[in-house]
Amino acid sequence: MRIGLLLISLGEDIMKFNEPKFIYGTAWKENDTERLTEQALFSGFRAIDTANQRKHYYEEAVGRGIYNFLVKSGKERSGLFLQTKFTYERGQDHQLPYVPSAALREQVFQSFASSLKHLQTDYLDSFLLHGPISSLGIHLEDMEAWSAMEELYEQKKVKALGIANCSLSQLQQLYVNSMVKPVYIQNRCFAQLKWDYAVRAYCREKGIKYQGFSLLTANSKEITKDAIVEIAQKYKKTIPQITFRFCHQLGIICLTGTSNKEHMIDDLNIHSFALTPNEMHLIEQIGI
């Protein structure tokens, strides 16, 4: 039996949306990627984030971890949310998932096809542009790449499109100029920027779902302040649990990349309590 056969789950309801609640991020795991992906799924995660960018991700090992979980658990591919990204050549090393001399449209198609093979599936739940080509504005190259992504969406090979690592003005430009609107944005989320308040406000206005990463590492100074330590003690929870619960109540879809099994389980265990409005306000202002 071909390995990938177990993961195929095409049907009439392929475009039915499977909303992620909490996402496990697979960056920087290298030779531990397969084991940690499988461990995350057995710990309760049902959404996996990766990228076809060998410089920082090992997407093929992510696919093996998913396969291992499905075989051992008897679960179906349709119960998972799988998300990957197209990365421009400037963000890659020499291990490119496409021919660099090919037209950008073809690079997107080649990267996507490679991701399907790596992840042993024939569709993706979400496909992100791994950041605009420049830190300023949305350029013709971005719209060319997005147009190719729209083709994949129209062909029902992916359920939703999105963009990572972009500013408010870039998101606004992309939204206005795209035919298929972004469903997701994935940003590093800083407490110093009031947890990316301006971008999140635009997302609420347009119905875009905000995925936040580096919630702990980018905010280590802020989330260890006495006020948050006291909140953690009150609820008998860890500081990461307080942080993730806060973000969940803000409407942020959290990413975590922990390699600790106990932390994986703890991170998902944030629904037995709720922060008060005053506590939410305090944490939202903690970096200002």
Reported as a single tens digit per residue, the pLDDT across 150-179 is: 999 999 999 999 999 999 999 999 999 999
Q: What pLDDT is recorded for position 2?
A: 32
The whole-number average pLDDT for the span 81-87 is 98
- Give DSSP secondary structure letters for 241-272: HHHHHHHHHHT-EEEE----HHHHHHHH---S
Percentage of the residues of the chain whose pLDDT score is greater than 70: 94
Instruction: Say yes or no: domain 19-188 is CATH 3.20.20.100.
Output: yes
State pLDDT tens for residues 231-274: 999 999 999 999 999 999 999 999 999 999 999 999 999 999 99
Each as own residue / partner, the long-range contacts of residues 240-245 (CB below 8 Å, 24 or more positions apart, any chain) are: 240/216, 240/266, 240/267, 241/266, 241/267, 241/269, 241/270, 242/275, 242/283, 243/215, 243/216, 243/219, 243/283, 244/22, 244/215, 244/270, 245/270, 245/273, 245/274, 245/275
pLDDT confidence tier of residue 10, bands split at 50, 70 and 90: very low
The Cα–Cα gap between 278 and 263 comes to 27
- How far CA 61 is from CA of 53, 118, 138, 236, 264, in Å, comes to 12, 8, 32, 36, 19
Closest by alpha carbon to 222, among 188, 195, 187? 195
> pTM of the entire structure?
0.93
Structure tokens at 98: 């496409």
**What's the CA gap between 38 and 35, in Å, rounded?**
5
For the chain, domain boundaries: 19-188
pLDDT digits (tens, 9 = 90+) for 22-31: 999 999 999 9
Burial class (CB in 10 A: 0-12, 13-18, 19+), 18: middle
DSSP class per residue in 56-116: T--HHHHHHHHHHHHHHH---GGG-EEEEEE--GGG--S--SS-TTS-HHHHHHHHHHHHH
